[in-house]
Structure 1
């Protein structure tokens, strides 16, 4: 065989037989046939950006609307189905084809029903759940026994957390096809999530009910004792402690601040029982010297304790309270106000000092 690939006789005469042909320049590349076909307007799967300015493409698009409305809608449905079968990357194209098919307004109810259900499948993928419900509703108007429409409605309703409605769709679907496994599985999933959310809801409602009940009981206890209360607009406590009521003993405990203005220090008593005395509480606070009181000058017997008074006009004053006075006596005093659910006592040294004189002067004393 010669170098040119043609069989010859010993004298060089070509023998009849197949020759090795050279591909012409205009032939499509056999290794990228599909890709090159997509550049041919007649076989395009998607339109280029300049489609509106391309007369050939526009002419081919017009051909898609040749025929009766039913034939055109059927053609769009088939193109949509082809795109949908290709996978998620082509769902957007499928949605456009199904929409084009519906826009034809053909009179074939069965065909329109299919277009609505198929478009719902695309919208379900994109998370357009309201559109899914709209399309499925249109399909069910045309055929109330369309299981796909009921199934896709259930999936959309589940995503929207409309669980009872989703379960209802599944139940209707199973009345038509009792053995439909996807519907059975979907309904089980919806019911499980619905039960879980309902349990959380019931537990939350129970917690809120107990909080309301507790609040009402505390308010009743405060009113029973004639304890004046007030709230500062916008006040937000920097601690988690609240007024508590021991129902068995019928005793209140109140979070209470003991303030030491001489040193700009304070102590928070989380639950000061109304039956305890001021002295008992101070004995616990000053059992050991505070870091800011290394000389142990602050002791129950060496300090004076005050609470702020507030009259109906909002004027603030000071009233000294003895060590043997019960907390309840302070709380029920006609000039004491339990503001923002907190009690406050001010503790200063008994001994006279310029600081103390200046401090008392602020209160008009």
Structure 2
């Protein structure tokens, strides 16, 4: 305790007490340091609304632009470099400094070249690849052998999957600096990715070509047999099976539904050969009673098989198909339409019933 009644440290600094605040009014708030520093003009991240009326802020702004354009641009470049060296958290500040340097429009081409290349490095980090290419293009206009501009252009082009252009940039960079290992590594990476994507592309093209060729052969086979076809707009099959052509035997197999409307059931034959007869297929289907036919009423000899017909006016009819009728005969019928690449047969009991009468009535029979 000193003579003035205030407790002090050994060096004479007053200690907090009941009549003395623990911190002076001018001290920064240590619990919210960033906010406190933002209130100090020298450390402000953004200008307040009354910046135009604040002489201290105006003086600091004027100080930043004090000197020749070249000196001002050099100063902004150095500040940008300092921020960039501090790490990714400060890249945004570095980008702003480089932009300020370019907006001075100094006449030092070498300095402007550096500012463009450095700003490109920031934009590369933020994924602004088009801006990277723009900045590097400006730098290359000033110096077409700027290896950093070519290198960063290659990185941006790689990110945009413009592999040929990226490889070209690497080649130009290596022409200027043949021993640059970073460029060599980048070129190798880009080339490997380009080769991988090119392989995938060629394999896809080959698959698509084979699909087109197969489709054309099937279309020709259907046309040769005079089988009428139609496609329903927007139709998507709920199975993966398609019409197939055995080129050696010159025979078609077609996915075919056997429908049982009385029980709202069906069977899908994945590949019904055009040369098979309907009765043989029914014999395979009804070899054992279906779960929905415990009384075994559905057998080749106790059912009738129909297929729908369609005339040129779109009118739907019904026609019987005997057990000994070949599948191809049905397909070639003048009123049969192979719609959406799927054949359909309707199977009902031979015996008369009220359900059958009502069902036939729908077709005008």
Q: Aligned runs of 1:229-308 on 2, under 5 Å? A: 229-308=229-308
Give unpaired runs (5+ residues) of structure 2. Answer: 3-8, 15-23
Match of residue 326 from structure 2: 326
**1:353 Cα deviation after fit:** 1.1
Match of residue 110 from structure 1: 110
Match of residue 163 from structure 1: 163
Conserved? CA contact 1:132–1:153, under 8 Å: yes
Q: Evaluate the alpha carbon distance shift between residue 326 and residue 65 of structure 1 in structure 2; reply closer, same or farther with a 3 A threshold.
A: same
Conserved? CA contact 1:37–1:43, under 8 Å: no
Q: Whole-Å Cα distance in 1 between the matches of residues 27 and 310 of structure 2?
A: 97
Match of residue 11 from structure 2: 21
Conserved? CA contact 2:255–2:272, under 8 Å: yes
Q: Deviations over 1:264-322 (max 9, x none)?
A: 11111111000000001000100000001000000000000010111111111111111
Match of residue 8 from structure 1: none
Conserved? CA contact 2:255–2:342, under 8 Å: yes
Match of residue 94 from structure 1: 94
**1:23 Cα deviation after fit:** 4.2
* Aligned pairs, number: 346
1:50 aligned residue (48, 51, 62): 48
Match of residue 344 from structure 1: 344
Length-normalised TM-score, structure 2? 0.90
Deviates more, 1:58-67 or 1:35-44: 35-44
**1:26 Cα deviation after fit:** 9.1
Q: Whole-Å Cα distance in 2 between the matches of residues 289 and 36 of structure 1?
A: 83
The secondary structure found in structure 2 opposite 1:98 is helix
The secondary structure found in structure 1 opposite 2:348 is strand
Conserved? CA contact 1:51–1:57, under 8 Å: no
Is 1:188 equivalent to 2:188 in the alignment? yes
Q: Evaluate the alpha carbon distance shift between residue 43 and residue 23 of structure 1 in structure 2; reply closer, same or farther with a 3 A threshold.
A: farther
The secondary structure found in structure 2 opposite 1:306 is strand
**1:50 Cα deviation after fit:** 2.3
Deviates more, 1:116-125 or 1:309-318: 309-318
Is 1:148 equivalent to 2:138 in the alignment? no
Match of residue 14 from structure 1: none
Q: Evaluate the alpha carbon distance shift between residue 361 and residue 109 of structure 1 in structure 2; reply closer, same or farther with a 3 A threshold.
A: same
Conserved? CA contact 1:41–1:56, under 8 Å: no
Match of residue 15 from structure 1: none
Give unpaired runs (5+ residues) of structure 1. Answer: 5-18
Superposition RMSD on alpha carbons, in Å? 2.3
Q: Evaluate the alpha carbon distance shift between residue 102 and residue 325 of structure 1 in structure 2; reply closer, same or farther with a 3 A threshold.
A: same
Length-normalised TM-score, structure 1? 0.90
The secondary structure found in structure 1 opposite 2:220 is helix
**1:52 Cα deviation after fit:** 5.4
Q: Deviations over 1:5-54 (max 9, x none)?
A: xxxxxxxxxxxxxx95234869989x99x98995685753x524527534
Is 1:202 equivalent to 2:192 in the alignment? no
The secondary structure found in structure 1 opposite 2:113 is helix
